Amino acid sequence: MGIVAELTAAAYQIYVDRIGREPAPMLADHAALVSAGVVWVAESGGRVAGALVVREAGEALLLESVAVSPADQGCGIGSALIAHAEHLAAERGLPAVELYTNARMTENVALYPRLGYSEVGRGREAGYDRVYFRKHVPPGE
């Protein structure tokens, strides 16, 4: 297991009991995502403290996951990674960042509106209850 997979597993472990199964980011093929160039990492103290997975999806940048090591949570790394996704979208000329989170990840459901994201829907997908968000990103931000 690579560092991004280990970090993601540690970050999302707290949700396993709440959701009743491993959250989708824990099941991702992180080695393939890294090879595809869609993973960005944040370092703290010379070690990987956070990971961001993004990919273009039509007219938006899809933020697939944000993971921060439990030891580094609450230090602003997650917010910095989300801001980086917004910067990437603007840099690529994409007008928005879209993402989804599990409805039982109530902390995330509350966080994204505070970061300027609008809830655009809810639904069941791949066996998960998801809440979908979107944020307009000014060009060249």
Alpha carbons 35 and 72: distance in angstroms, whole number = 25
CATH fit for domain 3-99, picks 3.40.50.2300, 3.10.129.10, 3.40.630.30, 3.40.309.10: 3.40.630.30
Residue 139: its pLDDT value, please? 81
pLDDT in tens, 2-30: 999 999 999 999 999 999 999 999 999 99
pLDDT in tens, 112-122: 999 999 999 99
Do residues 53 and 39 touch, judged by C-beta distance below 8 A?
yes
DSSP letter string, 107-129: HHHHHHHHTT-EEEEEEEETTEE
pLDDT in tens, 60-90: 999 999 999 999 998 999 999 999 999 999 9
> Which residues make beta-bridge pairs with 55?
62
Do residues 54 and 64 touch, judged by C-beta distance below 8 A?
yes
* Domain chopping of the chain, boundaries: 3-99
Alpha carbons 28 and 139: distance in angstroms, whole number = 30
